[in-house]
Amino acid sequence: MNALGDSLLTKKPWSSLIMGNHAVARAMLESDTKVICAYPGSPTPEIGEALESVPRNLRNFYFEYSLNEKIASEIVFGASINGHLSAVFFKSVGLNVASDAIIQMAMLEVIGGLVIVLGDDPGAFSSQNEQDNRHYSRLMYLPMFEPATPREAYEMYLKAAMVSQKYRVPVFLRLTTHVCHAYEVVSFGSLPENPLSLEARFDPQNGPYFPLVSQAMMHKTKLRDKLRHIQADDKIEKVHHFNKAEGQFNLAGKGIISAGLPALSLYETMSQANRKLDILKISLTHPLPEKEILAFLKSHEEVLVLEELDRLLEGDIKILCYDHKLSCKILAKEDEFLQGEITTGEAEKILHHCWPNHFNKPEIQAENQPTAPPRSAQMCPGCGHRSAFYAIKQALPDQDTTFTVAGIGCHLMGHFDPLNLGQVLLCMGHAPSTATGLSLFNNKRKVIAFMGDSTFFHSGLPAVANAILYDHNITLVFMDNFTTAMTGHQANPGSGELINIGDTKASKIPIQKVLESFGAKHILTTDAYNQNKLTEAVKESLEYKGFSAIIARHPCMLKFTREKQKQKALKEA
């Protein structure tokens, strides 16, 4: 067992300097979470790394990387209504995929408890957008905890599990990039001794679990009632004192309400400022802890709501002020702070904007100071995608006679110089459908699209089936590197390395056989390093009328070399 696995399985209370994601994994074990599913995506994959570090014979839980976020959410829902505490985790945009399932399961009775761990990404460090998933908690009428530190992430997971089990409702734990990857000394509790239970606890009488149209209003009413009870439950917030009203003002009548990472940035900024303000840090951001917020508003004349991204808390708090006829003025941040993280520098700017007579304008960095030059993202040395794109480019006419559609994965970097392949990118699995649209009423430009092996199994299957069904005139190149490379080399159905099939390799699901079963008639395969063969395959496919597929295979060289190094180290040891 490795050091991480040893730490996670420490049975007695202990303390450790630990990453936020790993702290969440420990909380899953302490809370006796039995079924955990995920789809890999930054900033959350280290949760999976930690769970995988526990040897199979010592696991008191089931863990899998599902084919997409919706499937993962549906599996844990099934486990929860069978009485098992369950959890699912994925990155921010994964909630878009899972939302169809989660918005419905919110209305039903998850008797075992269900925690949905989100990895949101303010600043879009590893995402194509920085969507604010706090909106989903309002849309779905689900509670949402927002930790600011690894310790809070650990404690709030335990609290979220308790709330979910008590009220039989899914609960969001919203992490952000810096909370996931920050390190802090965390004091942990002990592990439970509960053995795995094979008892089936599903009972339709706990439901109903068959939501008919005639029952929609009833389900919504029940869910809204649950939220009201959660909001009034004093035990939720006060056991660990997540909500903190810190009186440190020398600016009477002025205060700030904040949550998550912005609250930490505020503490740091305030520690260096000459002026101090009262701060109310909240952690259950939906439903709001109205008692604490109202008490804070009543004791202050002006309150700034400091939050990242959209003005959600600000709007909710303004409604509270209006409903309770309070005279407290709620200050707004400038539009320029509606995107990106609220770091200490941004906090300083916002404080100066709100109270210019009390907080100095932050110093602006001199323009002549050296800065790192911009650098395009690049594929790794030896990457099969590099070779494939070079070969494909030799086969293509110029840009005026070709449309190229990119997909999500390492190969999206083919968009950059010098390859310039991939003129449009939308989301996971979009490439065949977007390419289809470009092919319609188009007799002048060839259409070629790219899709990774992981994306194919994630959400590409329906789009590929549709393109084959209607025999749309596109060429789809599968960039197959036998792993989910971009997020840390997690297994996928084409790799034969799924982690819950014992010690032997799992059966692979070959892309070619799937395409053949769908009815594809023109399929060519080659190693991505065989550039001449790949170039000829592209030329042939572009001349074919209808759906054509090329499978360009080569193992991810980063994963390949690491595995070889490990094998060498084991032999030498």
Q: What is the DSSP string of 49-105?
A: HHHHTS-GGG-SSEEEE-SSHHHHHHHHHHHHHTT--EEEEEETTHHHHHHHHHHHH
Whether residue 377 is contained in a domain is answered as no
Q: Which of 305, 337, 354 finishes a domain? A: 354
Whether residue 218 is contained in a domain is answered as yes
- 334, 477: one domain: no
Whether residue 191 is contained in a domain is answered as yes
- 53, 19: one domain: yes
- 400, 549: one domain: yes
Alpha-carbon torsion, ordered 220, 225, 231, 236, to 10 deg:
-100
The encoded tokens of residue 80 equal 């929860």
The encoded tokens of residue 349 equal 């700017």
Residues of the chain predicted below pLDDT 70: 1, 237-251, 273-275, 364-368, 399, 496-506, 569-573
- 215, 305: one domain: no
Whether residue 426 is contained in a domain is answered as yes
Q: Which domain holds residue 297?
A: 244-354
- 78, 102: one domain: yes
CATH of the domain at 394: 3.40.50.970
At 95-141, the pLDDT tens digits run 999 999 999 999 999 999 999 999 998 877 888 788 999 999 999 99
Q: What is the residue-averaged pLDDT of the chain?
A: 86
Whether residue 84 is contained in a domain is answered as yes
CATH of the domain at 255: 3.40.50.920
The encoded tokens of residue 207 equal 């439901």
Count of structural domains, the chain? 3
Which secondary-structure segment (H or E) carries 164?
helix 150-167
- 341, 390: one domain: no
Q: Which of 237, 265, 282 finishes a domain? A: 237
Whether residue 375 is contained in a domain is answered as no
Query: How high is the pLDDT of residue 240?
Result: 42
At 435-486, the pLDDT tens digits run 999 898 898 889 999 999 989 988 899 999 999 999 999 999 999 887 887 7
Whether residue 31 is contained in a domain is answered as yes
- 407, 344: one domain: no
- 388, 535: one domain: yes
Based on its alpha-carbon atoms, the radius of gyration of the chain, rounded to whole angstroms, reads: 26
Query: How high is the pLDDT of residue 213?
Result: 79
- 233, 262: one domain: no
Q: Which of 212, 237, 262 finishes a domain? A: 237
- 230, 253: one domain: no
- 522, 395: one domain: yes
The encoded tokens of residue 406 equal 């990119």
Query: How high is the pLDDT of residue 378?
Result: 82
- 305, 414: one domain: no
Helix axes 150-167, 20-30, angle to 10 degrees: 30
Whether residue 190 is contained in a domain is answered as yes
